[in-house]
């Protein structure tokens, strides 16, 4: 154990210094008596956490002060939030109770802190503690959005100071962040925080790519700054001439967004043109905002030719999260496309501080998209029976999607997520209209329920009293509201059928001389692998389970034993005994570097040298994934307790692992022969499968090969890039 030499005097001095900095950050929002409330909260936090230290060895109190500082400075929250930020861990980590908080600080503060406190207790393995905690936190969002904003400040500080944590904890927290907290920040309009959370998550889940892009950005920094200077000087000149008070500057894009672009377009770093954006921020009064933004647009497009397909007008119709801005992409002086963002000071504050800034400007912003969104969250939360993981998936689906704007027959504007269908629109208007919808007219033309909508469509819904929601509707709706209403309607129908099944089963059990009690019902449900007694009753009513099946049950009396979270350790010790000798020495798992049986996940095909983790499944033992696997963030975000540390015993293996390579280039006679010669003869690598397509002179190939380690793969990729006509060679993630 590392020893810390603690200088109490120096620490106390530092705590006082940080507290004073916090008060300075709170100054703009302080009212009479607020300082005393903040002081009271600070004193209680200081006293409660006095013997606690962070992993870095620092006093724990540094954390609540930092969270309060972020809430005040970077989100712009007021005194109640600062008090809650200072106290956000006391109920969870110390002996202070919620009742004590309520008597000291009132109901509102106690309610917010309750929303920030994790639930305790053990769940069955098909549930997820993390998902339940998210749900609890989001339930309070409907009452008080400050819960989420303080949680985001807490998460941001934890992400900024995560280097002292154990690797598996870093992975779990980073994955949770990219899976839920970054999308939440985006949805609440906190763009700066969203970008930082995404970048910090990537720093831990995919450190190699993160470092690679950071290094590349740094190499080109001076060149980029000169380009920005040349681009903006004529713009500044004309703004000055026309008496427009505005600041113009270049802003680098986040590492995560650059990586996204490289992945989506399958292009190398060098081909990502918009590594930065030019931002123009106009200082003007509210009434003149729209005119001034378009005036600046006119000045810029007089100087540089715009790309007509890349104009985004969120000034006339703001995004659902309140974001307002005018974006255009123009051809810069050196034949390079440049994104230009035009907005006012008010719009910029809303883009940076999101929700908190909205309250400040509420009077001038009558149609608040965020209020509507909170209302939608309330609708989703109104379905209390939904499983927490289903709820999270539905909720997450509505976080990141861009909006499309649809008109009702009378011309009212409705915002829906991109990809929404006619049925989503029907549920958006009213649940009953959705439930009885049989079709729609889009721009006066009849279309089916599954018809995907386009920006600007005008819709009329056709209903019938005989219509009821169908199971397959869930396949083509994308809004959480439609999904939750369809599910609850189907559940209601299922419940009705199950009631009949219950009576039938009771009669059948009587004839088999089986006692009808809860214990026996659960045993039967387990035997037939149904997750609940209701599912059993339903299948009895449908005739899927009859007297013959029940006789099988009586004969076997065998019950299915579920692995619970607390039994995972004994499950692991069972795995030790059935090690596959071929790969026993390849991967070491867990804190004790045990040699356990495992399988490699096909979604990401890990190979020696990759950063990996183990995931303990309920039925298939341990699966090994890459930390940058497309499914990793969901697994780690929802089932952190099933994550096991894993590392390659050595990067030099004598047996091969399957991985994929995607090759794009200009089609040419003998190209396939050239590629296979490099792979099979030069590198002596076995080709497992090969799929090739050639379209109008463009060659695309996906090749699955047997590789020993990451080094061999990198060398092979670099050699394939040298084959004439090849434009891109990348490691290929399996699509399943």
3-state secondary structure of 459: strand
- Among 368, 441, 376, 446, residue whose Cα is nearest residue 407: 441
**CB contact burial 388-425 (16+ within 10 A = b; e otherwise):** bbebbebbbbbbebebbebeeeeeeebbbbebbbbbbb
Torsion of CA 426, 431, 435, 439, to 10 degrees: -10
Kindly name the residue from 7, 43, 47, 93 that is annotated as catalytic: 93
- Backbone conformation region of residue 311, classed left if phi is above 0, alpha if psi is from -120 to 50, else beta: beta
What are 624's strand-pairing partners?
A: 600, 614
> Long-range contacts for 139-144 (Cβ within 8 Å, ≥24 apart)?
139/115, 139/381, 140/111, 140/112, 140/114, 140/115, 141/115, 141/374, 141/377, 142/374, 142/377, 142/378, 142/381, 143/111, 143/115, 144/108, 144/111, 144/112, 144/115
E strands present in 321-382: 326-331, 337-344
CA dist 393 → 5, 132, 487 (Å): 47, 12, 14
Kindly name the residue from 7, 43, 92, 552 that is annotated as catalytic: 92
Torsion of CA 616, 622, 624, 630, to 10 degrees: -40
Location of structure tokens 């740094």: 218
Contact 257, 210 (CB under 8 A): no
Whether 93 is catalytic: yes
Strands 657-666 and 598-600: unpaired
3-state secondary structure of 706: strand
3-state secondary structure of 413: strand
What are 698's strand-pairing partners?
A: 666, 695
The CA distance from 109 to 44, in Å, is 14
| Catalytic residue annotation | 92-93
């Amino acid at each position: 154990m590392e020893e810390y030499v603690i200088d109490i005097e120096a620490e106390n001095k530092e705590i006082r210094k940080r507290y004073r900095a916090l008060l300075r950050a709170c100054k703009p929002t302080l009212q009479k008596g607020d300082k005393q409330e903040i002081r009271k909260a600070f004193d209680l936090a200081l006293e409660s956490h006095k013997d606690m230290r962070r992993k870095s060895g620092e006093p724990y109190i540094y954390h609540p002060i930092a969270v309060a500082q972020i809430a005040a400075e970077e989100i712009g929250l007021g005194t109640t939030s600062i008090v809650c930020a200072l106290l956000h861990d006391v109920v969870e980590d110390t002996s202070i109770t919620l009742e004590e908080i309520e008597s000291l600080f009132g109901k509102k503060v106690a309610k917010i802190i309750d929303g920030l406190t994790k639930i305790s207790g053990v769940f069955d393995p098909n549930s997820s503690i993390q998902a339940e905690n998210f749900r609890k936190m989001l339930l309070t969002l409907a009452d008080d959005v400050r819960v989420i904003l303080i949680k985001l400040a807490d998460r941001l500080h934890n992400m900024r100071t995560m280097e002292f944590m154990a690797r598996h904890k870093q992975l779990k927290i980073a994955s949770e962040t990219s899976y839920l907290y970054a999308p939440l920040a985006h949805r609440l309009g906190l763009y700066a925080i969203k970008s930082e959370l995404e970048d910090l998550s990537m720093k831990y889940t995919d450190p190699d790519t993160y470092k690679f892009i950071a290094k590349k950005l740094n190499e080109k920094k001076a060149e980029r700054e000169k380009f920005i200077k040349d681009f903006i000087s004529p713009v500044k000149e004309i703004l000055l001439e026309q008496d427009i008070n505005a600041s113009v500057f270049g802003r680098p894009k986040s590492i995560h967004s650059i990586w996204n672009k490289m992945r989506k377009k399958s292009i190398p770093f060098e081909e990502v043109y918009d590594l930065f954006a030019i931002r123009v921020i106009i200082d003007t009064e509210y009434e003149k905002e729209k005119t001034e933004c378009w005036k600046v647009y006119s000045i810029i497009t007089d100087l540089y030719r715009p790309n007509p397909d890349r104009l985004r007008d969120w000034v006339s119709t703001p995004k659902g999260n309140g974001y307002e801005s005018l974006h255009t992409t123009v051809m810069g002086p050196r034949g390079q496309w440049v994104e230009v963002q035009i907005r006012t000071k008010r719009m910029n504050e809303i883009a940076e501080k999101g929700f908190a800034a909205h309250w400040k400007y509420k009077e001038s912003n009558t149609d608040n998209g965020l209020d509507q969104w909170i209302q939608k969250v309330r609708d989703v939360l109104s379905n209390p029976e939904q499983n927490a993981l289903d709820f999270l998936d539905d909720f997450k689906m509505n976080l990141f999607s861009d909006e499309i704007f649809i008109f009702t027959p009378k011309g009212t504007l409705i915002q829906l997520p991109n990809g929404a269908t006619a049925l989503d629109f029907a549920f958006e208007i009213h649940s009953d209209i959705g439930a009885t919808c049989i079709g729609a007219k889009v721009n006066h033309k009849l279309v089916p329920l599954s018809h995907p909508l386009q920006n600007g469509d005008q819709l009329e819904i056709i209903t019938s009293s005989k219509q009821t929601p169908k199971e397959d509707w869930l396949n083509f709706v994308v809004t959480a509201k439609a999904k939750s209403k369809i599910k609850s309607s189907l559940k209601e129908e299922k419940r009705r059928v199950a009631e009949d099944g219950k009576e039938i089963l009771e009669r059948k059990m009587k004839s088999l001389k089986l006692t009808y009690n809860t214990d026996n019902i659960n045993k039967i449900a387990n035997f037939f692998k149904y997750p609940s007694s209701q599912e059993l009753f339903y299948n009895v009513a449908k005739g899927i389970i009859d007297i013959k099946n029940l006789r099988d049950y009586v004969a076997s009396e065998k019950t299915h034993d579920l692995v619970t979270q607390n039994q995972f350790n004994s499950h692991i010790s069972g795995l030790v005994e059935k090690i596959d000798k071929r790969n026993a020495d390849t991967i070491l798992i867990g804190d004790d570097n045990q040699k356990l049986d495992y399988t490699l996940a096909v979604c990401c095909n890990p190979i020696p040298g990759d950063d990996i983790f183990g995931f303990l499944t309920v039925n298939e033992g341990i699966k090994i994934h890459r930390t940058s696997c497309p499914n990793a963030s969901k697994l780690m975000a929802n089932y952190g307790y099933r994550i096991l540390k894993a590392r390659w015993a050595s990067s030099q293996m004598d047996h091969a692992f399957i991985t994929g390579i995607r090759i794009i280039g200009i089609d040419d006679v003998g190209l396939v022969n050239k590629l296979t010669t490099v792979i099979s003869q030069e590198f002596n690598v076995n080709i497992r499968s090969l799929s090739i397509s050639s379209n109008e002179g463009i060659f695309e190939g996906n090749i699955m090969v047997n590789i020993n380690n990451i080094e061999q793969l990198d060398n092979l990729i670099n050699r394939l890039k040298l084959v004439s006509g090849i434009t891109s060679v990348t490691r290929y993630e399996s699509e399943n």
